């Protein structure tokens, strides 16, 4: 197996991760603008990207195993890119090292972007909860009761929605 098939697969994987990173950045903008319809469509696009990445990663596992075997080393499972670099001839090691660096960088940036999106969604949920609390204030007791009275009757709970409607 030649290095060409492995690098072609790595290139496809890198392009998919870059595209997923672009989607993640768009998601940040959409979350900030509170555009839920657009967010729903974007999440569907992300799911398609993740399915494509999984397919390419399966191809990468096949190609990496074939590449390592062609360089005289066999593995029970698919070797990692670093293991392929160990088996590669000196002139091919630099190419694999470059791909490793590119993929590591884009995945790290994608991780940071997803953490930001997660924080933004969490803050949005906190705002929604605060708004609901403001709409549904705690009911104050209207009758006088003794402070040490153990026979307190709990106040009926009020619902935000009228279930009789």
**37-94 pLDDT, tens per residue?**
899 999 999 999 999 999 999 999 999 998 888 888 888 888 888 888 888 888 889 9
Calculated CA dihedral for residues 98, 102, 104, 108, nearest 10 degrees? 160
Query: How many beta carbons lie within 10 A of that of residue 27, not counting itself?
Result: 22
Per the structure, the complete domain to which residue 21 belongs is given by: 3-122
In a domain, 147, yes or no: no
pLDDT of residue 97: 92
In a domain, 162, yes or no: no
The pLDDT mean for the chain works out to: 86
In a domain, 141, yes or no: no
In a domain, 62, yes or no: yes
pLDDT of residue 153: 57
In a domain, 155, yes or no: no
pLDDT of residue 150: 62
pLDDT of residue 156: 57
Predicted confidence band of residue 136 (pLDDT cuts 50, 70, 90)? confident
- As a whole number of angstroms, the distance between CA 109 and CA 53 comes to 16
Mean pLDDT computed over 100-106: 96
| Structural domains of the chain, count | 1
What does pTM read for this prediction? 0.75
In a domain, 156, yes or no: no
Confirm if 136 and 158 have CB atoms less than 8 A apart.
Answer: yes
Q: Residue 118 is encoded by which pair of tokens?
A: 């997660």
In a domain, 77, yes or no: yes
pLDDT of residue 140: 66
**What SS3 class is residue 164?**
coil
């Amino acid at each position: 197996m030649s290095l060409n098939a492995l690098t072609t697969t790595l290139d496809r994987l890198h392009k998919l991760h870059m595209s997923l990173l672009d989607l993640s950045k768009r998601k940040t903008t959409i979350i900030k603008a509170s555009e839920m319809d657009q967010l729903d469509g974007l999440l569907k696009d992300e799911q398609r990207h993740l399915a494509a990445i999984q397919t390419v990663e399966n191809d990468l596992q096949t190609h990496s195993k074939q590449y390592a075997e062609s360089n005289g080393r066999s593995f029970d499972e698919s070797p990692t890119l670093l293991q392929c670099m160990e088996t590669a001839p000196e002139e091919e090691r630099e190419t694999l090292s470059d791909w490793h660096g590119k993929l590591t960088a884009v995945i790290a940036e994608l991780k940071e972007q997803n953490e930001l999106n997660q924080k933004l969604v969490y803050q949005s949920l906190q705002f929604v909860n605060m708004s609901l609390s403001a709409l549904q204030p705690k009911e104050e007791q209207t009758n006088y009761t003794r402070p040490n009275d153990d026979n307190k009757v709990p106040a009926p709970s009020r619902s935000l929605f009228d279930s009789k409607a």
